[in-house]
Amino acid sequence: ETGVTQTPRHLVMGMTNKKSLKCEQHLGHNAMYWYKQSAKKPLELMFVYNFKEQTENNSVPSRFSPECPNSSHLFLHLHTLQPEDSALYLCASSQDGNYGYTFGSGTRLTVV
């Protein structure tokens, strides 16, 4: 357990479904991140939140919608996804964007 908890660990959803991924950290960090890792590809940054404010959106399609209600929780709302969105979705947190990023174990998403 790294201190960053992601749920669910695995998710299978249809293209017309709406689901949400949850990330929680109790490390006292003030920055949180969503990354996507497709098969055999490097991690891709999706969204960055600093002090609950979104500071970076890396040209992510609108079918992915992040939400950060407080500095400890981060959500990724999913709707009308495509099969190519199947990937490992990783959440991370850090203090002031510093080197010590702590990652969760990820959610393995399969879109059918």
Contact range with other proteins by CB under 8 A, out of 13-21, 67-75, 76-84, 94-102: 94-102
User: Rg of the chain's alpha carbons, rounded to an integer?
Assistant: 13
To other proteins, the closest distance from the beta carbon of 95 in angstroms equals 9
Q: Report if residue 43 touches other proteins, rule: CB under 8 A.
A: yes
To other proteins, the closest distance from the beta carbon of 92 in angstroms equals 7
Q: Report if residue 100 touches other proteins, rule: CB under 8 A.
A: yes
Angstrom distance (rounded) from CA 29 to CA 88: 23
> Measuring CA to CA, which residue among 59, 111, 109 is closest to residue 88?
109
Of how many residues is the chain composed?
112
Residue owning tokens 């990354």: 35
Among 1, 16, 42, 69, indicate the residue that binds other proteins (CB under 8 A).
42
